[in-house]
Chain A
Amino acid sequence: MDKDQIRRAVTRIAHEIIEANKGTDDLCLIGIRTRGVALAERINKSIEEIEGAALPMGILDITLYRDDLTRIDTNPVVRETSIDFDIHDKKIVLVDDVLYTGRTIRSALNAINDYGRPAKIQLAVLIDRGHRELPIKADYVGKNIPTAKNENVKVTMSETDDKEDQVTVKRGKTS
């Protein structure tokens, strides 16, 4: 996926979010660190261009909710979560770059639960690569990329990687 394809996917997701929710009332975005945040910002900018107003946006770090803290080989750096609006009875669109096992989303759902009780949570991802290990499904998908488990999906974004936007699939160790 190149820069233009990513841009078009983001614009389409923005349109789909507005359409599915019949406008932007009570809607807010929460990006999962790190690339989910950059992606959520882009979707939000697109929504602002279409509807004239941006949505409230939060940032979620799921480290504290991971189910593999004692299994992965380095202890991950915990970074800040910032959700400075009341999520009670809001419609939340959770945003991440790649949907894979679904475990990150499971952690994110648990985390959001600790902040309040939203009316609804939806999920937007740039890439769905399959291999779910939990019953989780995305509501908005930029692109479905069928992969093997030993392949690695690498998303680079200009905000986070200092490189041009790109999605590549490489053979090798799964991340």
Chain B
Amino acid sequence: MSKWTHRHLVDLHDLSREDIEMIFESANSFREVNTRDVKKVPTLRGKSVICLFFEPSTRTRVSFELAAKRLSADTINISGSSSSLTKGETILDTAKNLEAMNVDLLIVRHPVAGIPRVLADNCKAGIINGGDGMRAHPSQALLDMYTIQERFGKIDGLHVGIVGDILHSRVARSNIVGLLKMGAKVSVCGPATLMPPGIESYGVDVVESVDDLIKEVDVLMLLRLQKERQKQKYLASVNEYSTVWGVNEKRLEAAKKEILIMHPGPTNRGVELSGDVADGGHSVILNQVTNGIAIRMAILYLLSTVRDEGLVSTQ
């Protein structure tokens, strides 16, 4: 039987296929806990978990917090604007100070890529990457893959299409890494201005048109158009984006019958996808959210029960 050896979760690059399967297997039992009347088990009693978020978040933060609370850990939330960082303290000092209070796990979201890695390399507390810049969002990719596995019973051999703003998307990057590791074929599709140069080097295909992609794939993952980043004129207009890249019922007519529509949220209805697709029979957007708690419970459980001996570095 494989053994969990990671103290931190920074990037899916660090995990093996067996590690990911172990997270899924643990998540199965936590999913059952979430359907009980008493949604709480005593497993992480006495552990302290801090969410340190320097970017806005509803889903990820609430999901991690609920996951920790349902495992009976104590949780504290710190947002960037209310912390001592506004007084000039570095994030590493902040983390070290929290660690000095014997905190067991730190969940970090930061606009700068690489911050969670720096913390992981310098802290004794377990570091979970809750999203860093455009780089990685491992827990989101894990819950996305878990949702695919739940529906198809496998990931190996499936074809997954990712559509939209690939350039700014840490969700896309982590999903690409994870899905390829699990044996899926991944194609990406989106406006040329939002397609990172050299993306093929990840091992993905670039497809020019959404209509061509829809016909081929088992899973269609739509990314949020990050409107806050559109001041830099990546697009002619949001309307044009939705006409060329948005998915609606009409476009879906060409798709396979059992296609899954996924979105990491928050959705811009009428931009990446129409309301009827978001609420339609192919959409598993809310299943993703439900599974998110089980996956994060599995991550918290595995990271906090890891043993000192036999540890491997996060690299």
Contact = CB atoms under 8 A, between A and B. Distances in A.
Contacts of B3: 74-75
A161 interface: no
**Interface of chain B, helix or strand or loop or mixed?**
loop
Contacts of A81: 29, 32
9 contacts: A63-B43, A64-B29, A65-B41, A73-B307, A75-B302, A75-B305, A80-B32, A114-B36, A115-B36
B134 to A, nearest CB: 33
B41 A80 contact: no
B1 to A, nearest CB: 7
Interface in A55-109: 61, 63-65, 69-70, 73-75, 77-82
Given A78-B301, A114-B38, A116-B37, 18 more contacts: A63-B29, A64-B43, A74-B3, A75-B3, A75-B4, A75-B306, A77-B1, A77-B22, A77-B26, A78-B25, A79-B28, A80-B28, A80-B32, A81-B32, A82-B32, A114-B41, A115-B36, A115-B37
Interface residues of B, number: 26
Nearest to B307: A73
Contacts of B26: 77-78
A77 B41 contact: no
B33 A77 contact: no
A80 B306 contact: no
Interface in B268-315: 298, 301-302, 305-307, 309
B222 to A, nearest CB: 31
A73 B38 CA distance: 30
B42 interface: yes
B42 A110 contact: yes
Contacts of A79: 25, 28-29
Nearest to B39: A114
Contact of B42 (A64, A74, A82, A115): A64
Interface residues of A, number: 20
B271 to A, nearest CB: 39
Interface of A: 61, 63-65, 69-70, 73-75, 77-82, 110-111, 114-116
A73 B310 CA distance: 10
B43 A74 contact: no
A78 B298 CA distance: 9
A127 to B, nearest CB: 25
A80 B30 CA distance: 8
B96 interface: no
Contacts of A77: 1, 22, 25-26
Contact of B305 (A69, A82, A114, A115): A69
Contacts of B124: none
A114 B40 contact: yes
Interface string B211-236: 00000000000000000000000000
A64 B45 CA distance: 11
